[in-house]
Amino acid sequence: MESVQQLIVCGGCNAKIGPGNLGDLLADLPKSKNENLLVGFDSTDDAAVIKLTDDLAIIQTVDFFPTMVTDPYLFGKIAAANALSDVYAMGGTVLSALNIVAFPEEKDLHILKEILRGGAEKVEEAGAILAGGHSIHDHSVKYGLSVTGTVDPEKIYQNNTCQVGDHLILTKPLGVSILTVGYSAGEVSEEAFNQATKSMETLNKYAMNIIRNYPITSCTDVTGFGLAGHLHEMVGEKFSAEIYSKKLPYFEEAYTAAKEFILTAGGQRNRNYMESKMDFTIEDFGIEELLYDPQTSGGLLVSVPEADAEKLVSELQSAGIPAEDFGVVIPREEKDIIVY
């Protein structure tokens, strides 16, 4: 393809501000108070939810980042899938999207066209309206979407409402940042890189179409804070979680690369924030890095009562979604997450 190898690898959700720093930044900002604001940034949820009527609320979210692959068309698809995911994580349906673009003035506009083409295809796949956008010149390429969705106010999924005994299910394998960084350094195979990009460009729409038929207690998508960081937000201060490492879904070559110290900056930021909150009962550096690895357009992390977990995983896997039941919510212990 003409546009391949025209972007640099420098971002994705690996470029996200770390969870500790972000929390400190937001702590003292004024909070909006309105009875119709059902979910705002006073929580750590994926998007804002504003009630319009008794049976209709809108979901608003925005997400954009620098390139993590060299192919502009592929980058556009991944960035759009990542932005759209926040609506699915709240249990919503995507209604419309606006492009957000930063592009160097001297760079070939054909590259930008390919990015926008990839993004437009994913918005269309979501069944949504691409209604315009905003662009600026910048020294590096960045792309994403502002997305509006709809949801029943009584059926909103939040990221911190799990219950003791719930099983934890993840719908995509871990390790995409390790694979993209490793591939750009020549340390990861093209096959593994292609597996990662296929996962990143896959909409979470298909998983949510199945998940919403089950009594989900909590849901989020795993992105820049890694599985460990997003699970930490899910259990909060009330509960802890057990992770069974042999049941984790991950890319085998990402695990191998992590053990060979193919690391990401975002993963180290996540480790610095989460390390004191983790209890690793096993000695496995590869598993540690996979749990801290920032996921660009990662899977949905859901908590579901034990009675429904096996059936949900079976239905997801039957639909070609590589979901796994990898852990359980337990009463509060000293650490947030215990890894076995």
Binding residues for Mg(2+): 46, 86, 221
What phi, psi does 16 have (nearest 5°)?
-65, 145
Give the list of residues 6+ apart from residue 231 with CB closer than 8 angstroms, or none: 168, 241, 243, 301, 327, 336, 337
Q: Please provide the size of the chain in residues.
A: 340
3 state SS for 83-132: HHHHHHHCCCEEEEEEEEEEECCCCCHHHHHHHHHHHHHHHHHCCCEEEE
Element (H, E) at 222: none
Residues that constitute the known binding site: 16, 43-46, 63, 86, 133-135, 221
Residues that constitute the known binding site for ATP: 16, 43-45, 63, 86, 133-135
The full DSSP string for 8-33 is: ----GGGGSPPHHHHHHHHHTSPPP-
Please state at what angle helix 285-292 crosses helix 226-235, rounded to 10 degrees: 70
The separation between CA 196 and the C-alpha centre of its own chain, rounded to angstroms, equals 13
Identify whether the C-beta of residue 332 lies closer than 8 Å to the C-beta of residue 237: yes
The tokens for 168 are: 């934890």
Identify whether the C-beta of residue 172 lies closer than 8 Å to the C-beta of residue 322: yes
- Residues serving a catalytic function are 13
Distance CA 134, CA 98 (A): 8
Establish how many alpha carbons lie within 13 A of residue 16's alpha carbon, considering only the half-sphere containing its beta carbon: 28
Give the list of residues 6+ apart from residue 89 with CB closer than 8 angstroms, or none: 46, 47, 157, 159, 204, 208, 219, 220, 221, 300
